[in-house]
Structure 1
Amino acid sequence: MPHVPVSHRFGAAIATCLLFISLFPNPTLADESDIDSLAHSRIAVVGDSITQAGHYVSFLSYQLHTQSPGRSFDIYPLGLSSETVSGLSEKGHAGGKFPRPCLFERFDRLLSKVKPDVLIACYGMNDGIYQPLSDDRFAAFQNGIQKMIDQAKRAGVKKIYLVTPPIYDYEPAGDAFNYDTVLSAYARWEMELKIPGVKVIDLHAAMRAARAERDQPFSKDKVHPNEEGHWLMAQTIASALGARDSAKSVSEVRADPVFASIDSIRNLRWKGWMNHIGYTRDKTYPPRSLGLTEVFAQKHQEMVRILLQ
């Protein structure tokens, strides 16, 4: 079989995802008003370590800003490593040093301080605790998602985007347990939700289709996607919001000065706003002053505006 460059295979994977979406319409498909409602809104993005790493958040922000240069997308990246919505934690997590944090320890403070108009949430990877599917764990995840939606709506969030979990990037041999079957079940349940003001974006199916076209995994540790995986995540979310698919590669995006400023905003805001909100993980980090976070963020936002003119 002739060698096919990785970049070509990745392009084919993206094309496969787009074909999958076009052939099987579902609640992921965008409303015409999605981009309009996101522009000039406060957008909070919550999730676990994949969201805390933040590459897909920066890539998504880049997609939105470059495709709608006359608009402002005010994104607050607020993911926390190890976090769940289920409140569950496996025995011996982090070497027995601390249990997994739960979103609801900080969610009230997040909502009251950030005051988001839009919430993007990606959970599930940690909520199954890397164990086979069980009714109790599944119910804890379902209850957590519903609680998050209810709490966000009470706080005035106008639109909620649920992103189904990324894949557990593992292809077992024989009858070995594959944790991705649990994430697939969680994703299917989310896709069945019909809640006013909530849209579900099926990242899991798109990522699984893309993985089938690749020889190499997106994730070396089975959980945390590499930059190509984060780029696919951003493309999938952006497509569901009504943005066009980008023909750029990750390296081309990274070389763009616009992206450098957008990525700086993400880094500034994650550190500044997480400290301002306060959270508990390995220990409790009490809320602190926001300081000059937004002063510096606004300088980078102005640079994005100038570069896009």
Structure 2
Amino acid sequence: MKNAKLIYFIFLLSIIMGQKAAAQDWANLNKYQKENAVLEKPISEQKRTVFMGDSITEFWSIINSDFFSGKPYINRGISGQTTPQMLIRFRADVIALKPSAVVILAGINDIAGNTGPATLDMITNNIFSMIDLAKAHNIKVILCSVLPASDFPWSPNQNPATKVMALNSLLSSYAVANGIPFVDYYSAMANDQNGLPKTFSDDGVHPNKVGYEIMAPIVEKVISVTLTKS
């Protein structure tokens, strides 16, 4: 429980600091600049995979670090980020790392309004633009459903569950229409209120260790199949 409180404190602090630094580095391109600069080019057999996302991706390395250990997985999640911010840093934090694949998990903070109001069209347009960029650089795309959420602790009473389901429907349909592998976290994690149960999350938005342990085999199966295809 202490760990969960620390993670949530870091999440809130990142939003506050991000807002203060917005004029200087709105997309937080500086966060991984040093790590990217020293990251060696992957060997052909390595098949590097970059995880692009927000706090749900970033905290994965903190709460369940074993998932990334000894694997060619690169975590490029940034807490509090929305899809326009991710789109701006997509070249620096994904394309420049020359991965074989990118796993995109994004959209929940847009629904929360972290960087202002966002329609579903705005969210999907940003995600689809990231996909277009990846394809243009021969990077295989793995698109993820947004995790369930029935409320936001930092921005309550928005009733986001319906928007989350609508966004996931749009993402799933796009994936099918464009032959993109789709990772359905939502179906495996939603409770009967279309939220994230306490078993999987301490705050209803961010997975705990059990939640990440549910997610891991779902995405790894898709990564394995995607990277074995020619």
The alignment's TM-score, normalised by the length of structure 1, stands at 0.49
Cα shift readout 1:258-284 (whole Å, capped 9, x = no counterpart)? xxxxxxxxxxxxxxxxxxxxxxxxxxx
How much has 1:138 moved relative to structure 2? 0.5
3-state SS of the aligned residue for 1:220? coil
3-state SS, counterpart of residue 198 of structure 1: coil
Aligned partner (choices 79, 90, 110) of residue 93 of structure 2: 110
Partner of 2:105: 122
Residues 50 and 143 of structure 1: CA distance in aligned 2, closer, same or farther (over 3 Å): same
Q: What is the identity, as a one-letter code, of the residue corresponding to 1:79?
A: G
Q: 5+ unaligned residues in a row in structure 2: which ranges? A: 1-43, 152-156, 226-230
The question of 1:185 aligning with 2:166 is answered: yes
Native 8 Å contact 1:111 1:155 kept in 2 = no
CA, structure 1 residues 140+160, in 2 after alignment: closer, same or farther (shift >3 Å)?
same
**Equivalent position of 2:77 in the other structure:** 79
> How is 1:162-201 mapped onto 2 (pairs within 5 angstroms)?
162-168=143-149, 178-193=159-174, 194-196=176-178, 198-201=180-183
Distance 1:141 1:57 in 2: 28
**Secondary structure, counterpart of 1:192 in structure 2:** helix
Residue 44 of structure 1 corresponds to 50
Query: Is 1:141–2:147 an aligned residue pair?
Result: no
Compared CA separation, residues 111 and 51, structure 1 to 2 (3 A)? closer
3-state SS of paired residue (2:51): strand
Larger-Rg structure: 1
Q: CA RMSD in A?
A: 3.3
Structure showing greater relative contact order (alpha-carbon pairs closer than 8 Å, 6 or more residues apart): 1
Aligned residue in 2 for 1:219: 201
* Contact 1:211–1:217 (CA under 8 A) maintained in structure 2: no
The separation in 1 between residues aligned to 2:180 and 2:88, in whole angstroms, is 23
Q: Residue 152 of structure 1: SS of its match in structure 2? A: helix
Secondary structure at the aligned position of 1:156 is classed as: coil
Aligned partners of 1:39 and 1:161: how far apart in 2? Answer: 19
Query: How many residues in Structure 1 have an aligned counterpart in Structure 2?
Result: 173
Match of 2:184 among 171, 178, 202: 202
Per-residue Cα deviation, 1:85-132 (whole angstroms, up to 9, x for no partner): 1x3xxxxxxxxxxxxxx012211222443011100111121121259x
Instruction: Quote the offset at 1:227 in angstroms.
Output: 1.0
Q: Separation in 2 of the partners of 1:150 and 1:115?
A: 15
Give % identity: 25
Structure 1 stretches of 5 or more lacking a match? 1-37, 66-72, 88-101, 171-175, 244-309
Q: Any conservation in 1 of the 2:112–2:158 contact (CA below 8 Å)?
A: no
Give 2:48's aligned amino acid.
Answer: R
Measure, in 1, the Cα distance between the counterparts of 2:210 and 2:95: 34
- Normalized against structure 2, the TM-score is what? 0.64
> Counterpart amino acid of 2:58?
Q
Runs of 4+ in 1 over 3 A off after TM superposition: 55-62, 209-212, 214-217, 239-243
Native 8 Å contact 1:57 1:77 kept in 2: no
- Match for residue 160 of structure 1? 141
Secondary structure of 1:166's counterpart equals coil
CA distance in 2, matches of 1:108, 1:57: 27
Structure-2 change in CA distance of 1:76 and 1:126 (3 Å): same
